[in-house]
Amino acid sequence: MASHDATSVLIDGLCFGEGPRWHDGKLWFSDIHAHWVMTVDAEGRLARVVEVPSAPSGLGWLPDGRLLVVSMQDRRLLRLDATGLTEFADLGPLERGICNDMVVDARGYAYVGGMGFGFARGEEYRPGAVLLVTPTGEARVAAEEMLFPNGSVVTPDGATLIVAETRAARLTAFDILPDGELGRRRVWAAVDGMTPDGICLDAEGAVWVASPMTGEVLRVREGGEVADRVRPSQRPYACALGGACGRTLFVLTAQSHSPTKVRALQSGRIETVEVEVPGVGSP
């Protein structure tokens, strides 16, 4: 198994970065507790895209190029138009807690993780769900009894959704049906001892998994074999493959996920390391 013990810091001074996606030559991400969707290029030039007062998380794009943003606390999916953010779907009737990460496939179907409880508000844990939002903005529950659904990816053929279940220490896969619904739920990989958070997919079908509580990002094959390991400078919460050749692994790290602490510490970083296999699929 390969191992990378040295990463480079591309940028620091963030509050808490999440939802990284390589798109249009830049890394897009949400600084959740600063309430901004942002971009950074390969030289570390940072830019603000749009402010999301109720905290942004998952990002994705419709086929026409418009950005979708999960607004966490008010449980809405927002769309960025020429005049600003508008509501694309109200997820409140489907989600009791807060909404979190998201993946949007090539057809425009969005899969949003509903935590099931107010994680940042200290509410008692409850199972969550994967919520489906169609390209026309219709929302419904696609999968129930998810144990803290987090990072998600869609395979390049559009046939499979893989979701990190943080509380279950596993990656769970579904078949994506022609109407966007999910079927044939199964364990893609058990990752015992880890806290799988953000994930990304590479061209060999392996998934990079950020595990904040163990302080590492692991490259996991279907079935659970660990093929590679990266140890960043602090806790990793999300990851994405991108860069000019698709082989730069961007790792979003912080010292804590506590809203109070991250605003005071501003320890959020984006760290990078070059890996052998490029990224594919969505995001």
pLDDT in tens, 7-48: 999 999 999 999 999 999 999 999 999 999 999 999 999 999
CA distance 83 to 93: 27
**CATH code, domain with 130:** 2.120.10.30
- Residue 275: Cβ within 10 Å count: 20
* Average pLDDT along the chain: 94
Whether residue 281 lies inside any domain: the answer is: no
Q: What is the pLDDT of residues 119-142, one digit of tens each?
A: 666 667 789 999 999 999 999 999
Q: What is the pLDDT of residues 181-226, one digit of tens each?
A: 999 999 999 999 999 999 999 999 999 999 999 999 999 999 999 9
Whether residue 282 lies inside any domain: the answer is: no
Whether residue 57 lies inside any domain: the answer is: yes
Domain membership of residue 30 as a residue range: 2-274
Q: How many domains does the chain have?
A: 1
Token pair, residue 34, equals 């600063």
Whether residue 280 lies inside any domain: the answer is: no
Whether residue 279 lies inside any domain: the answer is: no
DSSP string, the chain: -EEE---EEEEEEES-EEEEEEETTEEEEEEGGGTEEEEE-TT--EEEEEE-TT-EEEEEE-TTS-EEEEETTTTEEEEEETTEEEEEEE-TTT-SS-EEEEEE-TTS-EEEEE-SS-TTTTPPP--EEEEEE-TTS-EEEEEEEESSEEEEEE-TTS-EEEEEEGGGTEEEEEEEPTTS-EEEEEEEEE-TT----SEEEBTTS-EEEEETTTTEEEEE-TTS-EEEEE--SSEEEEEEEESTTS-EEEEEEES---HHHHHHH--EEEEEEE-SS-B-SB-
pTM, full prediction: 0.95
Token pair, residue 51, equals 């402010």
Whether residue 25 lies inside any domain: the answer is: yes
Work out whether strand 149-154 and strand 182-190 pair parallel, antiparallel, or are unpaired. Answer: unpaired
